[in-house]
């Protein structure tokens, strides 16, 4: 049995279709389709029910998928064991994260990390947690860093890496403007349409009862530009707005409150991370940017 065929099958199953598996693996779709068909012929069973562009498991397909999860997890464990034994920190480091973390936090971490470990090649993949979780589950990426993780993909676990102080900010020129203070710029409701509660909006309503969700974008880098333009108030991590608060471009509406949110680490369940990944995560834990 050709293991690449198993990998193709596993990726199609994880991503939900042949075309998406093609994008994730960087392999032409006909090759993936042919590989899955060859696997079915080798095994003598159908693994998928095909309905147009969508696929679903047959009963035996579900069992083979479960076995694949164990196979590819063990393959990652073997690699991690070997890397840990050599004590070398080199090779590729593939991680996933959201846009603001990639812009405002990751460069600070890489500045010290790459000096210590010059033989590591960091590769930062940027996007939403919901999209990148699939690649983590498929072992294409090693881990992810996000503030918000919607419904988890099968095989993914979430741990809190650190807590980060956030600030509810407004343009300094509009700090006394009630209309602007009543306009809350949201984000989670785009990542997860089922979101019903907005803790920071509820806190704001204690002082401004008419406060409402007025604008939404899941790119909080955009929030940092919207708030100074008077489009509303935004809740942003300290590492993004430290300079803006220091130079008076923005002010914190609740400066005495230490409002913290978790920086989440997304990995495959039971995964043993490579040495470059382990040391990168340690670098984040001790970063002054998160204090």
**Tens digit of pLDDT for each residue in 3-21?**
889 999 998 888 888 888 8
How confident is residue 88, by pLDDT bands cut at 50, 70 and 90? confident
> Using CA atoms, how far apart are residues 200 and 108, in angstroms rounded to an integer?
28
In angstroms, how far is CA 76 from the centroid of its own chain? Answer: 20
- In this structure, the answer to whether residues 249 and 215 fall within a common structural domain is yes
Range of the domain at 29: 3-82
- In this structure, the answer to whether residues 15 and 103 fall within a common structural domain is no
- In this structure, the answer to whether residues 42 and 78 fall within a common structural domain is yes
**Tens digit of pLDDT for each residue in 121-130?**
999 999 888 8
Q: What is the DSSP string of 244-280?
A: HHHHTSEEESSTT--EEEEEEEEEETT----HHHHHH
**Tens digit of pLDDT for each residue in 14-44?**
888 888 888 888 889 999 999 999 999 999 9
User: How much is the CA Rg of the chain, to the nearest whole Å?
Assistant: 22
Q: What is the CATH number of the domain that holds 111?
A: 3.40.190.10
What is the pLDDT at residue 204? 93
- The share of the chain scoring above pLDDT 70, in percent, equals 96
- In this structure, the answer to whether residues 168 and 256 fall within a common structural domain is yes
Residues 6+ apart with CB under 8 A from 115: none
Residues 6+ apart with CB under 8 A from 25: 7, 8, 11, 32, 140
> Using CA atoms, how far apart are residues 37 and 57, in angstroms rounded to an integer?
14
How confident is residue 291, by pLDDT bands cut at 50, 70 and 90? low
Q: What is the DSSP string of 44-97?
A: TS--EEEETTEEEE-HHHHHHHHHHHHHHHHHHHHHHHHHHHHT---EEEEEEE
Domain count, the chain: 3
- In this structure, the answer to whether residues 280 and 143 fall within a common structural domain is yes
Q: What is the CATH number of the domain that holds 30?
A: 1.10.10.10
**Tens digit of pLDDT for each residue in 217-268?**
988 899 999 999 999 999 999 999 999 999 999 999 999 989 899 999 999 9
- In this structure, the answer to whether residues 144 and 65 fall within a common structural domain is no
- In this structure, the answer to whether residues 40 and 114 fall within a common structural domain is no
- In this structure, the answer to whether residues 75 and 109 fall within a common structural domain is no
* Angstrom distances, CA of residue 211 to CA of 203, 206, 251, 275: 10, 9, 18, 47
Of 82, 100, 132, which residue constitutes the final position of a domain?
Answer: 82
Mean pLDDT of 162-190: 93
- In this structure, the answer to whether residues 184 and 251 fall within a common structural domain is yes
- In this structure, the answer to whether residues 151 and 268 fall within a common structural domain is yes
b vs e for 94-119, b when ≥16 Cβ sit within 10 Å of the residue's Cβ?
Answer: bbbbbebbbebbbebbbeebeeebee
Q: Degrees (nearest 5) of the Cα angle 113, 115, 121?
A: 65
pTM: 0.69
- In this structure, the answer to whether residues 106 and 191 fall within a common structural domain is no
- In this structure, the answer to whether residues 126 and 247 fall within a common structural domain is no
């Amino acid at each position: 049995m050709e293991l690449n065929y198993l990998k193709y099958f596993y990726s199609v199953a994880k991503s939900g279709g042949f075309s998406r598996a093609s994008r994730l693996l960087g392999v032409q779709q006909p090759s993936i389709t042919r590989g899955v068909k060859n696997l079915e012929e080798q095994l003598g069973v159908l693994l998928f029910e095909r309905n147009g562009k969508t696929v679903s498991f047959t009963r035996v397909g579900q069992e083979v998928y479960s076995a694949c999860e164990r196979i590819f997890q063990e393959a990652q464990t073997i690699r991690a064991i070997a890397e840990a034994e050599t004590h070398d920190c080199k090779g590729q480091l593939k991680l996933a994260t959201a846009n603001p973390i990639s812009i405002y936090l990751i460069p600070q971490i890489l500045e010290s990390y790459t000096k210590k470990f010059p033989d590591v090649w960091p590769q930062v993949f940027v996007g939403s947690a919901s999209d990148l979780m699939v690649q983590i589950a498929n072992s294409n990426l090693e881990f992810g860093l996000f503030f918000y993780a919607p419904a988890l993909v099968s095989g993914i676990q979430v741990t809190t890496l650190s807590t980060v102080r956030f600030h509810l900010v407004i343009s300094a020129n509009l700090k006394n403007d009630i209309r602007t203070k009543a306009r809350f710029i949201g984000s989670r409701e785009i990542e997860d349409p089922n979101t019903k509660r907005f803790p920071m909006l509820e806190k704001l309503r204690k002082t401004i009862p008419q406060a409402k969700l007025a604008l939404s974008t899941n790119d909080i880098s955009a929030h940092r530009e919207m708030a100074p333009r008077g489009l509303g108030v935004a809740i942003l991590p300290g590492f993004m707005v430290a300079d803006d608060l220091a130079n008076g471009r923005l002010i914190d509406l609740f400066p005495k409150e230490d409002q913290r949110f978790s920086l989440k680490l997304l990995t495959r369940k039971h995964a043993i991370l490579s040495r470059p990944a382990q040391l990168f995560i340690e670098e984040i834990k001790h970063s002054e940017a998160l204090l």
